[in-house]
Copies of this chain bind each other. A is one copy, B any other.
Amino acid sequence: MQADTLKVERRSHWLYVTLNRPKRRNAMNRKMVEELTNVAQTVREEGGVRAVILRGADGHFCAGGDVSDMAGAMNTVHETDPVASLNRSFGHMLEAIDTLPCAVITVCEGAVMGGGFGLACVADVTLAASSARFRLPETSLGITPAQIAPFIVRRLGHSHARRLAVTGQTIRPEEAVRLGLAHARANGDETVDDILDATLGRIRRCEPTAVAATKSLVDRTGSMPLAALLDDAATEFSALVRRPEAKAGMTAFLRRQPAPWDQEN
């Protein structure tokens, strides 16, 4: 995959995507939003990738939206509401990443602000380096975390979402783990890269189709009645069990051997 604002590199089952505008602390401009959306679409269509690892170049994850792009949009005259359209495109990108069938990991270092905070909220596994500082600066600039807010509520719950809205408070790694914003953080014994390696090892043990089906099931919870969801889940379960992968998984488990999908490749 070609991209101007990203470095994209495939290794084994993993797709490493680096936000790559280090002079702007990887702030997201229109181009980066488009390229991230394209990466998500390609992963979804081509299959084969078992985890996408998002991180930022040169010690920062992402400083949020690029202010100069916003100014450009405001001066655009050939669209009805170019600012709304630019803003909404960021939400489409978050939705595209949020609904990926494979695992998504964010490795958070330095500034994790605005849109970067949003990416951390849609990842399945969010890892915080000691340097990570999570923040929603929007209200202090006189604007809102418009496309991010719903993902923040889902991730942190209503209480912390409202607190961050009114205070714009910076969250350090320890609090990020306490809030469920991050799942693990570097400490004296383990760097964030050590934790990433251990996480990839765990993801490798999980069978890709089962992972996709479980992510989908989790996402449907709450949007349909419980009994109907459990009925659907039972039917899906039966189909999954009848696949050769399930038989291989059970056999490997009983023999205490690695399953076929648990390989370096």
Which A residues have a C-beta under 8 Å from some C-beta of B?
A: 51, 67, 70, 74, 81, 83-85, 87-88, 91, 95, 103, 121, 124-125, 137-147, 149-150, 152-155, 157-163, 165-169, 178-181, 183, 199, 202-203, 205-207, 209-211, 213-215, 217-219, 221-222, 226-227, 229-231, 233-238, 240-243, 245-250, 253-254, 259
Chain B residue with the shortest CB-CB distance to A178: B178
Instruction: Note all chain B residues with C-beta closer than 8 A to A166.
Output: 51, 103, 124-125, 203, 206, 211, 214-215
Instruction: Note all chain B residues with C-beta closer than 8 A to A154.
Output: 157-159, 221
A contact face: mostly helix, strand, loop, or mixed: helix
Do the beta carbons of B161 and A242 come within 8 Å of each other?
no
Instruction: Note all chain B residues with C-beta closer than 8 A to A178.
Output: 178
Given contacts A150-B230, A166-B125, contact A238 B140 (CB under 8 A): no
Do the beta carbons of A180 and B162 come within 8 Å of each other?
no
Instruction: Note all chain B residues with C-beta closer than 8 A to A165.
Output: 124, 206, 211, 214-215, 218
Contact of A240 (CB < 8 Å), options: B143, B147, B215: B143
Given A87-B233, A142-B249, A165-B206, 7 further pairs, Cβ under 8 A: A67-B253, A125-B166, A142-B247, A146-B236, A155-B159, A159-B180, A160-B183
